[in-house]
Structure 1
Amino acid sequence: MFTVLVANIKGGCGKTTIATHLAAAFATSGHHTLLADVDRQKSSLGWIERRPTDAASLTGLDWTKELASPPKGPGRLVIDAPAALKTKQIEELVKLADVIVLPVLPSAFDEQATRRFLDKLEELKPIAKNKKDVLVIGNRLRARTKSADRLDEFLEGIGHKVVTRIRDTQLYPDTAATGLSLFDLKGKRIGEFRADWDPLLSFMAAAD
């Protein structure tokens, strides 16, 4: 099972939004999809509980107390990691993953925390030896703002692949409230924002 870890030690950077949207994207594409919630707040599991019965099916896993091995067989597993991960937790989660997705917001605080997290990741053999990809995402960007420009400068110097930049829109909290995602909806405006995800999904399709 192809496993995606969504992680950053900085809280509030959009990990759960990224994780739930990836899970929905996989499910709506016909993949057998699991979403494992490691965060004690259980936001991803709450999103699944709110999900309409006619939406693409996916299964939630409660890993808040103990991690489990990814199920065998075809499909996709998305892991929503908590903030403030300890070194041992990072090692265990990275070991389970095929690819690590790291969201970062346009904020000096987020950039600082992300650099610390990347330093920890780079100490791990799978990352240091380029056996597992770290895919960085610029999240909640607003075009033509100083914060977006600063984030672009930061991303250019981190030494990891910056896959895409996801624009800020009220569509994300609106869909989260109903257990849905941009991938569950139709419409021109939805499609315009959903296109931000195409580079990330294309990378994973090629890596699977």
Structure 2
Amino acid sequence: MRTILVANIKGGCGKTTIATHLAAACAAAGHSTALADVDRQRSSLGWLARRPATASALVGLDWAKDLSDAPKGIQRLVIDAPAALKTKQIEDLVRMADVVVLPVLPSAFDEQATQRFLGKLEELKSIAKNRKSVAVVGNRLRARTKAADRLDQFLGGVGHSVVTRLRDSQIYADAAASGLSLFDLTGKRAAEHRADWEPLLAYIEKA
């Protein structure tokens, strides 16, 4: 089983959107996939409850109170972590993960929080000794803006792999309202935005 942890101590940086998309992508690729929601708000599980029966099947796990084992036969486990993680929670979740996906928005506040979180991660031996990978993802970027330029400068200096940059688009909110993702949609627009995810998916498979 390959386990992907989506985490950052900054709220509102897109963790749930990325976690649900990664889970949907794994399921669409034919992997038996579980989506574990550690956040008390249970946004990922809410998305899963709206998911139509015609979409690729996913197993939902409520880990808001306690972490548990994934069901037998699961090939991909995606964990949606809450903001403001405590040190013990970070240690427990990173121990379970094969790769940590860290989303960051084009905002000075997000950059500051991300630096603090990376500092916490680097205190863990598995991260410091490169036994586990950290994939930094620039999220909700608008091309040719000062915020995007500043984020590019920040991402270039964080010392971890900046795997991809996801463009800002209403298509994400529209899909989420129906329990769907870009990997469940057809059409040119969805295909164009799916291309942003290809480097991240390839990185996770190789990690």
TM-score by length of structure 2 reads 0.98
Q: CA deviation at 1:71?
A: 4.3
How many angstroms apart in 2 are the aligned matches of 1:18 and 1:96?
18
Q: What is the SS of the residue equivalent to 1:149?
A: helix
1:13–1:110 contact (8 Å) kept in structure 2: yes
How many angstroms apart in 2 are the aligned matches of 1:134 and 1:18?
15
Structure-to-structure mapping, 1:112-151, within 5 angstroms: 112-151=112-151
**What are the superposed Cα offsets for residues 171-195 of structure 1, whole Å, 9 maximum, x if unpaired?**
0011000000000011111100110
Name the residue aligned to 1:157.
157
**What are the superposed Cα offsets for residues 113-152 of structure 1, whole Å, 9 maximum, x if unpaired?**
0000000000001001100000000000000000000000
**What are the superposed Cα offsets for residues 2-28 of structure 1, whole Å, 9 maximum, x if unpaired?**
000000000000000000000000011
Q: What is the SS of the residue equivalent to 2:78?
A: strand
Q: Give unmatched runs, 5+ long, in structure 2.
A: none
Q: Does 1:190 align with 2:190?
A: yes
| Alignment coverage as a number of residue pairs | 207
2:34–2:70 contact (8 Å) kept in structure 1: no
Q: What is the SS of the residue equivalent to 1:166?
A: strand
Residue identity over aligned pairs, in percent, reads 74
Name the residue aligned to 1:38.
38
Aligned-residue RMSD, C-alpha: 0.9
How many angstroms apart in 1 are the aligned matches of 2:80 and 2:18?
9
Q: Could you tell which deviates more after superposition, 66-75 or 187-196? A: 66-75
Runs of 4+ in 1 over 4 A off after TM superposition: 71-74
How many angstroms apart in 1 are the aligned matches of 2:86 and 2:115?
15
**What are the superposed Cα offsets for residues 73-130 of structure 1, whole Å, 9 maximum, x if unpaired?**
4510000000000000000000000000000000000000000000000000100110
1:3–1:70 contact (8 Å) kept in structure 2: no
